[in-house]
Chains A and B, each alone.
Chain A
């Protein structure tokens, strides 16, 4: 059981809910990302999703598209992200024990061979892997490579996912299963979907012992509260990325902004 799985299962057993923020690696430069990751090492945060930027992120809304473009534009590479994770893991520094899930589209992971990619990520200190354009049917190779390297594979369920398929996704996932809270792409939505609650209840029942995370459209303490009625973890991506990007100043200033936004969101944790 790795760091991330240990953390999410312990929280679930204790009946505690938490946040799972998303940040884009290299948005504002890797130094900024490192400072932000360290700031996110807080008790309300179960784990962080670290996005590897991709040129064509089809599941993402405008905020995360722009973040990926900025990260790629400033020269963020896979090697650079590995270096970032290694630096985060430096013993004795804040964030060295922060559970970290890598979120990436399939192509940048498979380009150098999926086994090698998983090994490099695990060696650097990543704990889990989520791939939004790799549904279960296409994921056997990745899942095997991730498990062999000691990474938790994490799969998605949506409101249109059949019960049988959701059960498979839950069975295949380690650490948590990711419920897509509403139709559409990532990005804060003004009106949380009512039918989402029913879908989350259903998924929660199926998930059993496996923690349930919900994402897409969560960007305020009230949205966190709504999400955590049924889910164990609330994923906040676009809203946090936007907050960090809009904060002027150096890496420390941006990390400070991330820190205060997380405290604001944490008010939604019962």
Chain B
């Protein structure tokens, strides 16, 4: 792996059994990602964006090819190793926020730190910092059903960022948000990317997101059709 490269993907393919045959979600993908990137994997629905994100996030495994994510290759990716990788180094942001509705905002953000077995005082500091980044310190006692869509996604960002992961994977993070909220959370993520040097990889087809990206990888039918760096 080259200096600064945190993800390497070689000849990646992913097939799913469908009926008697198989559906190819990804095929012949070769990519590398460096630390601090703010990259989007774009393309129409069914192009393989989410599958790619899931494989990078070790939630799914390649059918063919090899991935190396933060020094762990797909060949050595046992469920336990994958869980440890996600727990320590990867944060996820989902289209539907996926917050725990019975937890308060504070508890939702605290959750990844509980898994890391951090002390209560460390957790408290980290959670308050994370909520400050996203501007939700006044909502720590609220529960997700009491929040707007934008606020919920900001909680999800805080939850993804609270452990200061090296990599954040965001799957259609603005799909359920209006333009104002979309820009707000994108600016937040951009700031975090610059301040903390966290690598962000988005799966999106939202133009609002695309205008913030510094690298755009376009997928069509599971293949990379373009990989452009954008000067901003």
Q: Do A and B come from one complex?
A: no
Residues of B within 8 A of A (CB): none
